[in-house]
C-alpha cells in the first residue's frame, strides 16, 4: 500500500539537523528524497558517519555532486528542473550562486516549490548571521525563558529550535503543495529559524505587551499559573542510572489531584497545615512543600511511584534517559516505536531508529531504510530522475564530480 507522499520528488541540500529533520519526516511518509552531498561538504554533522547524519537522513537516497564543477552544476540544474520541491538551510543566496536558485529554475519548472530555511530569514540587518542552536535559543528568548531562578546562562542545551524549525519546514512544504493543487503554481517559501523560536516564547511577549512585564526564568514553576506541588523530585537511587540518580515529575494541577496525592502521602499532619489548604497557599509555600514532598519521594522507587500516582489520578512521570526509553519503557515497547533497521549499515552494522509518531489507518508509514553512504545512490538517482544512460553516468564520473 503506498504511503501518503509516494511520487513526490524532493531535492535536499540541507545539513546538520533542522533541514534534514524536515525531509526525514517527508521521506518517512513516502517522498523520494534525494540527499545532495559532496566529499568537500561531508564533514562534521554532514559526514555520513556522524550520529546526526545517521539519525536524520534515513529514507533518503544519496547523490554526491561537486558543485564547484561546472558540468556538475548543469546536472544539478536539470535535477532542480525535475524536482517538485527543493529545500536548503544554507545562508541566504548559496543556491543562487550555484545557478540553481528559485529565480533561475522557476521559469522552466513553474510548479517547483523552494524552501529556504536560513537562520534569520531573507532580509533584515541580521540576515547574514551564522546561527546554531545556542545562538538561536539566546536570541529568540528561549535561553532566558528556560533558565533557573534569576540566572540567564543555562537554557536548553539540546537543539530544541532545530527540531521545531524542521517541523515548520515539513508543514511549509505540505502547505506549498496544497497551494499548488489549487493554483497550479509553485512558489518560494522563506523560513526564519529565529522567528520559529520567537513563536515559542509568545506568552512572554504577550505579558510584555499587555503589562510591560519582563518574564523571569521560572525553572520548574509554571510562569503564569500558581500551581503546587509542581516539580521534579528525587527517588530511591539505583546503580542502573547515571550517578545512581532517579527523579520523578509530579504536577497537581487541580484540588482533586492534591487531595489524591495527600492520601498517597498518608495524610501526614504537615499536609493538613493551614498554609496548604488552597492552591494559592500551597504555591506561596511551595519551597517548604517541595522539600517535604522530596523527603517522601526519596523513599520511593521512581517507576512504582509513577504507576501509583497515575492510578490515583495524580499526574506523574519518571525522568527517563535514553537508556530508559530503549530498555524500560513499556509504552514504547508496546507500540513498537523503537526499531532495528532491516538492512545493516555498511560501516556500523546494526543501527536503530525511532518511528514516525503519526499512524495512518489507510496509508501506513512503516517502511524505514538506513541512511546512505556518500554517493551510494548516484547511478540510481541519475537514471530515475534524468533518464541518463549507463554511458552518460560513467562520463559524469570520469569528469570527476561524482564519487
What are the residue numbers of the active site? 162
d(CA 111, CA 352): 36
Question: Residue 175: which of 113, 116, 102 has the closest Cα?
Answer: 113
Q: Where are the beta strands (DSSP E) in 207-258?
A: 230-235, 246-251
| CA contacts within 13 A on the Cβ side of 114 | 22
d(CA 245, CA 232): 12
d(CA 189, CA 396): 32
Give the three-class secondary structure for 295. Answer: helix
d(CA 135, CA 13): 22
Residue 121 has φ and ψ, to the nearest 5°, of 90, 165
77-91: burial string, b at 16+ Cβ within 10 Å, e else: bebbbebbbbbbbbb
320: left (phi over 0), alpha (psi -120 to 50) or beta: beta
Instruction: At 100, list the grid cell.
Output: 540553481
Amino acid at each position: 500500500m503506498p504511503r501518503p507522499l509516494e511520487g513526490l520528488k524532493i531535492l535536499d541540500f540541507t545539513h546538520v539537523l533542522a533541514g534534514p529533520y524536515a525531509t526525514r519526516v517527508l521521506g518517512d511518509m513516502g517522498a523520494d528524497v534525494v540527499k545532495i552531498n559532496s566529499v568537500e561538504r561531508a564533514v562534521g554533522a554532514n559526514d555520513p558517519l556522524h550520529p546526526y547524519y545517521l539519525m536524520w537522513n534515513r529514507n533518503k537516497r544519496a547523490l554526491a555532486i561537486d558543485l564547484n564543477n561546472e558540468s556538475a552544476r548543469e546536472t544539478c540544474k536539470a535535477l532542480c528542473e525535475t524536482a517538485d520541491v527543493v529545500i536548503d538551510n544554507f545562508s541566504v543566496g548559496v543556491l543562487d550562486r550555484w545557478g540553481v536558485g528559485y529565480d533561475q529554475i522557476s521559469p522552466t519548472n513553474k510548479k517547483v516549490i523552494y524552501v529556504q530555511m536560513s537562520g534569520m530569514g531573507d532580509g533584515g540587518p541580521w540576515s547574514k548571521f551564522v546561527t546554531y542552536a545556542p545562538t538561536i535559543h539566546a536570541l529568540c528568548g528561549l535561553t532566558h525563558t528556560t533558565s533557573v531562578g534569576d540566572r540567564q546562562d543555562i537554557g536548553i542545551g539540546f537543539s530544541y529550535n532545530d527540531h521545531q524549525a524542521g517541523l515548520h519546514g515539513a508543514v511549509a512544504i505540505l502547505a506549498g503543495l496544497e497551494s499548488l493543487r489549487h493554483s497550479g503554481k509553485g512558489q518560494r517559501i522563506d523560513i526564519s529559524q529565529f522567528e520559529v523560536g520567537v513563536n515559542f516564547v509568545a506568552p512572554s511577549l504577550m505579558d510584555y505587551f499587555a503589562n510591560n512585564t519582563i518574564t523571569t526564568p521560572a525553572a520548574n514553576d509554571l510562569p503564569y499559573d500558581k500551581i503546587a506541588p509542581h516539580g521534579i523530585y528525587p527517588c530511591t537511587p539505583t546503580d542502573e542510572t547515571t550517578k545512581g540518580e532517579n527523579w520523578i515529575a509530579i504536577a497537581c494541577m487541580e484540588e482533586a489531584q492534591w487531595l489524591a496525592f495527600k492520601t498517597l502521602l498518608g495524610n501526614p499532619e504537615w499536609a493538613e497545615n493551614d498554609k496548604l489548604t488552597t492552591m494559592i497557599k500551597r504555591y506561596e509555600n511551595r519551597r517548604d512543600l517541595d522539600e517535604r514532598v522530596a523527603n517522601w519521594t526519596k523513599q520511593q522507587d521512581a517507576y512504582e511511584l509513577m504507576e501509583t500516582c497515575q492510578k490515583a489520578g495524580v499526574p506523574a512521570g519518571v525522568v527517563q534517559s535514553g537508556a530508559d526509553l530503549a530498555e524500560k519503557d513499556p509504552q514504547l515497547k508496546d507500540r513498537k516505536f523503537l526499531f532495528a533497521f532491516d538492512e545493516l549499515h555498511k560501516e556500523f552494522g546494526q543501527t536503530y531508529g525511532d518511528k514516525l509518531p503519526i499512524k495512518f489507518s489507510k496509508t501506513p508509514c512503516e517502511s524505514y531504510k538506513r541512511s546512505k553512504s556518500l554517493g551510494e545512490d548516484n547511478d540510481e538517482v541519475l537514471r530515475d530522475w534524468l533518464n541518463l544512460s549507463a554511458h552518460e553516468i560513467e562520463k559524469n564520473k570520469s569528469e570527476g564530480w561524482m564519487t
